[in-house]
Amino acid sequence: MSSGPRCLVCAQPCLSPRLLPCLHSLCARCLRRLGPLGEPGRAAVTAAASRSVLCPVCDAEVALPPGGVGQLTPDYLALSRGGAAAGCDLCADGAAVRRCLTCEADLCLFCCQAHRRQKKTASHAVTELENSKDCSQAEKPCFCPSHPAERLRLFCEQCDQPVCRDCVVDGHRQHPYDFIGNVIHRHGDALRELLKSTQQRMGTLEGVLNQIDEVGSAVRGRMEAVAAEICLFASGYVKAIEEHRDRLLKQLEDLKVQKENLLHLRKAQLQQLLLDMRTGVDFTERLLTSGSDLEILITKGVVASRLAKLNSVAYNTHPSVEDRIQFFPQERAGQCRGYELFGTILNKVVDPARCTLLGEDLHSTRQNQLTGFTLLCSDTTGEQMGRGGETVQVTITHKDKRDCAVKPTVCDNGDGTYHISYSPEEPGLYAVCVYVKGQHVKVGTKAVATDTKVILAAPTGHAVDK
């Protein structure tokens, strides 16, 4: 028995192994020690109340069934690989030491004694477990946990679980059911399709991880190019310029570390997702190739839930980081040792959420009169960009006449501000939308809405009340 599968946590032979929703199998001893969110030394009943634990193998937070760890799906696949320390088929708690040849059930010492005291089973032939000639889990019948004397031969379609004849009469009376042999093909095929989809996503995920390595190489190459440019610029100066150069290189190195750390974090997250997928795929493949029909049906619920959850995780298939790092040799950089210094590194990125629109003409104007307002672009810290070059798009349309649009003019002032001018030809209500990098810009003062700005236009010489 010691040559069989061992628990991934305690490394001891698996005793009554059960599956966590992440598809890692734990023995009964480790399950009893599993506390809330994986805390050791707490009773399993406390874990049942918390409804979630941390898997001690992959550190994933997994939800427990309503009954707690005791209601986790048994890992029949681990037992079927041979040599595993099987649990008692009646109490599912103690280790099996004997086998009833009449019932074809493995019994712990306590249940064996009870088996012999009952009139109904007193005449059954019981032998030592190691003397049993046929202990194969694939051939050994599984008994109903609610009716230990009945074998699981039927499958309840409504409850999506194997049941026995007494279950059908008792709690599943009005539920549609069928024999396991009649439904295994349909459920097995569905699980195979889910497996195929997960395998395809694994291939895509591996490709994304390769792209991250390529992006990291490109970022490092860009950093090296900027460093060479900085060194070339600073080579003509003496100590003051050399100190300035060193400061610039340190600043650039900090940016490099920052961006590489971001890439490393994304890579680690995707690697963990890939590892979880591999675990799910490996287990599912073993289940479909080595498990019996009953084992597939018993386990397929937790397996399908895990694979579906992994498949629902979203990730960017084109990973990148902001690489708009530029060196401006003509920018003033203050003084050092009495010398006026030039050359700065700019890493500002415009944040559309922090850009604002300013000007009273956002709200009213006159027909055929040229007017306008100002767009102020800021970075992620709320500081004005201080330079132009951003992609700004403006649309102005009549609210009642869709074919009546005003063509605005956008003037880049080169300091992070843009002047938008327009002249409405028709009176009425207009909608103005301003986009920076394809995202809506909010109004700074007297805002009407986040993504829609209202203008009131009237015939020449007549203003309209708001």
- Over the stretch 53-92, which tens digit does the pLDDT of each residue have? 888 888 888 887 877 777 787 777 766 655 445 667 777 5
Whether the pLDDT of residue 389 is over 90: the answer is no
Examine the pLDDT at 445 and tell me if it is beyond 60: no
Average pLDDT over residues 376-401: 83
pLDDT greater than 70 at residue 448: no
Q: In the prediction, which pLDDT does 43 show?
A: 46
Residue 238's pLDDT is 77
- Residue range 439-464: average pLDDT? 45
Give the per-residue pLDDT at 150: 85
Q: Which of 26, 93, 14 is nearest to 54 (CA)?
A: 26
User: What's the confidence (pLDDT) of residue 272?
Assistant: 93
CATH superfamily to which 352-457 belongs: Immunoglobulins (2.60.40.10)
Mean pLDDT of 104-118: 81
The pLDDT, as a whole number, for residue 241 is 81
Lowest mean pLDDT among 9-13, 195-199, 362-366: 362-366
Question: What percent of the chain clears pLDDT 70, i.e. is strictly above it?
Answer: 81
Mean of pLDDT values over 208-215 = 90
Convert the pLDDT of each residue in 319-337 to its tens digit. 665 666 778 788 777 888 7
For residue 439, pLDDT beyond 50: yes
Q: What are the domain boundaries of the chain?
A: 191-225+236-311, 352-457
pLDDT digits (tens, 9 = 90+) for 291-325: 899 989 999 899 999 999 999 988 777 666 566 67
Residue 162 has pLDDT above 60, yes or no: yes
In this prediction the pTM is 0.39
Q: What pLDDT score was predicted for residue 278?
A: 93
pLDDT recorded at residue 140: 62
Distance CA 340, CA 356 (A): 35
Q: What confidence tens digit (pLDDT) does each residue in 217-260 have? A: 999 999 999 898 887 777 666 788 888 888 889 988 888 888 88
pLDDT at 315 (0 to 100): 79
pLDDT-derived band of residue 23, with 50, 70 and 90 as boundaries?
A: confident
If you average pLDDT over every residue of the chain, what do you get? 78
